[in-house]
Structure 1
């Protein structure tokens, strides 16, 4: 898959074939993540019943039958044995029917802990007991969501992948020894960076630092070895294979975001087969469970390492004495000293991309997820009079700057403001009614519900919860819009990159139209299967199509314009300024009033953040507030168009100047030939 020089003749068949990749990425990643995450529920989740008699056995059987196989209950003799199973992640919960005690390990997966707690709360209630929950492996205060390991692990994986990509495609002539040395060195460096950010910058993690650093090194190195071996064996087609294995399948199978026993069986079965899932599982076990049960993960990584060595061997047999093929040809100086300097500079440049992944991803995402807390969260108190005044004063005194408390006259106004995304929650202290909108963010809704329920109960009432914008069963996590939007943004980005590389001979107008076409096609297919397969659009398919298209076009045009103005450096800007920070600042994964204020600033200015939020708003809130999002995306798209027009005119002037110079030289040559002929004439 080599490219011609920019400005040369464009091969349309080659360009169209290459454009299949951004369309594939725009569709495959959201499809896999939606299939895995859009409706998580326990699947044969292992729980234990403490006891030795018939009662324990009957209860275990009853739990399995009543939950229709969602839980696989077994009997264990005593609580100590049950706790050891929890510590080894062999079980999700242990319930003692004699005492009403439930033992969980939330560090093994917060969603799983919530699921088992809900089930055994009902079981205890049926026997007249009050459930007493003991968390034997709680999440630390500075990593309350429990996903910091996911982002330092993912950064290591991407660093290994991009290091191998750059070595195989940009520096294939260095030889295997140097490739392995650079890959090993980069694995260590990126692991140190990720560890330092998680432990030193944010304090999200605090235990087993050296083991975590070693695991990150291994994970990055194994990822790089597999990809580099594949590049040498089958060429650039290995990129698609690696993306599928490492990202599209590896992350859903890891259990890092959603526990592996809460995703469809296909993904759960891959957990101890793929390197990404095994490596991330190993990180969780090292950080929270002192490495218990890590042997299976290490075995998987060792097997894949052997497979990588096999690919290197086969590649050598296939092309004796040669390294990988040069995929991105670059003019190399012929003079030895200049060649050595060029190689050193190119090697340093190759390290830039993986280093940026190692730095930016943990900084942005660990900073977002490690300790979400309310910050000026808008809450309304319904009614008037002394009780309302007292409630407002109590909330402000207890929460301080965490809440922004206002008074509204009635429940109708509160509901409307919740639907317009102006409030996070509302409470009527006289009636005991609590209103939330979970579609605007599950974390914020849960925090508000807990807080306002306490307010109601302190006044002697029983809280009645009303969700004015509930999430549908088909999207119970509320992240479908995020996956779709990421696909649209990545598709637009990759389309612009490919057009810039393979379509150098096309006019700027045609290049832009190709980017627009890819965005439209990708969005149309996304909406089609999102509607027909996952049923996530309820009367909003057309609006969602428009927003997905707008986001893909905006990111694509920005990338194409930057490519024209500053060259390949724009690729780094799009990735590490627009896409990664934009996803974090979208307010979907973590709501903005639970995140540091920095993310709110990013949300206001980045088109990716605005576009992702707008996709959610058109799906669940009838487009409330999307005007500002469209304005931001429109401004960025317009600026990109202006830059493209300017770059096109500049290139046109340069071409005309070159033609005039060539014509002048031709005239001078002709005149010289005439003069020479005149002199030589007899």
Structure 2
């Protein structure tokens, strides 16, 4: 073996070892990120209202509190106040004690999984007391998507669209304002196409069309700006790093299939700070609840978009400055003459 080929052989061996080690490691991380939240889905401090006279609701509260750590009880004076809290997304449902018997208010639009869970839990409590409970869906999911499957399925495609836009802008060498305008334009088109599909065609969304399109677009821009910004600062490795965080953490931790309070801690909280989770919460708010509780997720997405675009502009400026000649170097020939 020649001396020149030895370093090449060692480099190839190191790459092969890296593949052998990284492949199972990435597989384990992916399985952990997706399987762990799914296997541990259960209510954890799930906001639930109880309405009616204190003497009448005391027994129901006591029964619900037997599920230790499952529910966060909010007390309301009457059914009207409980309905307002559900429509404001303060609680996922409420148990109302009436002279005719207990009544369960749910909001399947907020989460069909949670609505079904509340029906089962409260029905068991009522059956133990020898009473029947009537269920009223205050904010119902759309008839064409009663299980929220379309909304859940939109999380991954939007994340992929954002990652693709950020990667394409980086690989094409676009910088500065041009790159920012390209990302904003792509996000706007993605938002309108997604709203046309989910709202106009599938009927899975029922809110204001333009608000939904803006939500889709902002979610896409948050992802694409994060990808392009990371790549501008640390190079092509930023694309892979950002994609890993958004795909293997943001997607399974989003709570789109159930609710953030149904995921093991701290997965639910982390997911709401990432674009997939914030985008899902914002889309539910603008589509089914007239924008209630939309401020938090909207600010989160805006923060991701602004920081990403800022990082992209900063990286572009740093590269331009690095390529520009030093002033002293320009003056030396003149001084020498």
Following superposition, the deviation at residue 264 of structure 1 comes to 0.1
Mapped contact 2:206–2:288 kept (Cα < 8 A): no
Cα deviation code 1:504-542 (max 9, x no counterpart): xxxxxxxxxxxxxxxxxxxxxxxxxxxxxxxxxxxxxxx
Q: SS of 2:199's equivalent?
A: helix
- Structure 1 CA distance, aligned partners of 2:78 and 2:251? 35
The corresponding residue for 1:30 is 31
1:236/1:17 CA distance change after superposition, 3 Å: farther
Following superposition, the deviation at residue 79 of structure 1 comes to 1.0
- Structure 1 CA distance, aligned partners of 2:162 and 2:74? 41
The corresponding residue for 2:328 is none
Q: SS of 2:75's equivalent?
A: strand
Q: SS of 1:270's equivalent?
A: helix
1:206/1:298 CA distance change after superposition, 3 Å: closer
Matched ranges for 1:320-359 at <5 A: 320-321=320-321
TM-score, scaled to structure 2: 0.84
The corresponding residue for 1:148 is 150
- Structure 2 CA distance, aligned partners of 1:322 and 1:194? 40
1:114/1:164 CA distance change after superposition, 3 Å: same
Following superposition, the deviation at residue 150 of structure 1 comes to 2.9
The corresponding residue for 2:335 is none
1:176/1:151 CA distance change after superposition, 3 Å: farther
- Structure 1 CA distance, aligned partners of 2:224 and 2:53? 50
Q: SS of 2:321's equivalent?
A: coil
The corresponding residue for 1:192 is 192
Q: SS of 2:74's equivalent?
A: strand
- Structure 2 CA distance, aligned partners of 1:100 and 1:212? 36
- Structure 2 CA distance, aligned partners of 1:44 and 1:280? 20
Moved over 6 A (4+): none
Unpaired segments ≥5 residues, structure 2: 1-7, 324-337
Structure of higher RCO (CA pairs closer than 8 Å, 6+ residues apart): 2
- Structure 2 CA distance, aligned partners of 1:228 and 1:19? 29
The corresponding residue for 1:307 is 307
Mapped contact 2:219–2:275 kept (Cα < 8 A): yes
Mapped contact 1:48–1:91 kept (Cα < 8 A): yes
Matched ranges for 1:666-681 at <5 A: none
Q: SS of 1:137's equivalent?
A: coil
The corresponding residue for 2:56 is 55
- Structure 1 CA distance, aligned partners of 2:142 and 2:316? 49
The corresponding residue for 1:219 is 219
- Structure 2 CA distance, aligned partners of 1:305 and 1:230? 12
- Structure 2 CA distance, aligned partners of 1:148 and 1:84? 27
- Structure 1 CA distance, aligned partners of 2:229 and 2:22? 21
Mapped contact 1:106–1:139 kept (Cα < 8 A): yes
Matched ranges for 1:409-448 at <5 A: none
- Structure 2 CA distance, aligned partners of 1:20 and 1:215? 40
Following superposition, the deviation at residue 58 of structure 1 comes to 4.5
1:208 aligns with 2:208: yes
Mapped contact 1:60–1:74 kept (Cα < 8 A): no
Following superposition, the deviation at residue 249 of structure 1 comes to 1.5
1:203/1:233 CA distance change after superposition, 3 Å: same
The corresponding residue for 2:127 is 125
- Structure 2 CA distance, aligned partners of 1:179 and 1:20? 36
- Structure 2 CA distance, aligned partners of 1:186 and 1:317? 23
Which structure has the bigger radius of gyration?
Answer: 1
Following superposition, the deviation at residue 153 of structure 1 comes to 4.1
Cα deviation code 1:23-57 (max 9, x no counterpart): 44433222111110113111111211112323324
- Structure 2 CA distance, aligned partners of 1:317 and 1:21? 34
Q: SS of 1:265's equivalent?
A: coil
Mapped contact 1:57–1:75 kept (Cα < 8 A): no
Following superposition, the deviation at residue 244 of structure 1 comes to 3.4
Matched ranges for 1:551-562 at <5 A: none
Q: SS of 2:36's equivalent?
A: helix
The corresponding residue for 2:42 is 41
TM-score, scaled to structure 1: 0.43
- Structure 2 CA distance, aligned partners of 1:94 and 1:10? 66
Mapped contact 1:97–1:124 kept (Cα < 8 A): no
The corresponding residue for 1:329 is none
Q: SS of 2:40's equivalent?
A: coil
1:43/1:306 CA distance change after superposition, 3 Å: same
Q: SS of 1:283's equivalent?
A: helix
- Structure 2 CA distance, aligned partners of 1:276 and 1:250? 6
The corresponding residue for 1:337 is none
- Structure 1 CA distance, aligned partners of 2:113 and 2:90? 16
1:293 aligns with 2:293: yes
Cα deviation code 1:352-373 (max 9, x no counterpart): xxxxxxxxxxxxxxxxxxxxxx
